[in-house]
Amino acid sequence: MACVASRYLEDGKVLFAGTGIPMLAASLAQKIHAPRLSLVYEAGGIAPDPSMLPLSVADSRTTFKAICCANMPEAFEMMQKGIVTYAFLGGAQIDRFGNLNSTMIGTDYHNPKVRLPGSGGANELGSLSWRTLIIMNHSRRRFVEKVDFITTPGYLDGPGARERAGLPPGSGPAFVFTELGIFDFDEDTKHMRLKSLLPGVSVDDVISETGFDLIIPDNIGGELKPSMEELQILRREVDPWRIVLRRGDKEVH
């Protein structure tokens, strides 16, 4: 997921990175094809050059060799000023319009089935950055018809909804990255659309793990397997301490 997502990060852009796999993907992109990709972290680190992968968006490594050690309000003001190209986020639930839930599972906010970590800066990131990138595991309990709580707005309930809510025109989710495929959003309906499949995955695999009707185009692309260069850089340079990579060990074993 990190390798494939990194290929979509463009050189010279400004990225507001979330904790975990977004950091992996961003750092990998910087080392391979996007050396001028500038990362902004929620606690105020702007364009750092950390010696090791940060543990979180508030880790002191996010200010190592940074061009500016700002504070949280200044970091968020960059989005309000239109400086930030991409926000890179995860979530517990997502629906067909790209709305994300990281707040609670259930129907009663005060008595949920599961209380999740909450927004942090995810609402502001998805509201004010020009484009939102989303990375998460793919299953029917995550890809749902309607999220239990909108923590981070996608296209809300369809075309024009973001603009009616006062969010920047032209902003919204761009891509969703999972272990099954990559998804974008139809320009007219704002419904999620299958863009490409990861190696070894079929369209039926994707449909069976999605709790709503995806747009399935006639021609679907396929992503290349992670190259040896990508894997070596990811394991030896980006995360040799396996801060994030070790989470995948549990899933494999």
Cα separation, 82 vs 153, whole angstroms: 17
| DSSP structure class, residue 226 | P
Active-site choice (42, 209, 223, 230): 42
209 carries an active-site annotation: no
Q: In the block, which residue shows the tokens 């595991």?
A: 137
Q: Kindly report the backbone phi and psi dihedral angles of residue 41, in degrees, each rounded to the nearest multiple of 5, phi listed first.
A: -115, 150
User: DSSP per residue over 115-183, as a string?
Assistant: E----TTHHHHHHHSSEEEEE----TTTB-SS-SS-SB-SSTTSTTHHHHTTPPTT-EEEEEE-SSEEE
Question: Looking at beta carbons, which pairs linking 117-121 to residues 24 or more positions away fall under 8 Å?
Answer: 118/151, 119/151, 119/152, 120/42, 120/57, 121/16, 121/42, 121/57, 121/72, 121/76
SS3 109: coil
d(CA 125, CA 22): 13
CA distance 15 to 29: 11
Q: Which of 39, 55, 15, 17 is nearest to 247 (CA)?
A: 55
HSE-up (13 A, CA, CB side) for residue 63: 13
Residues forming the active site: 42
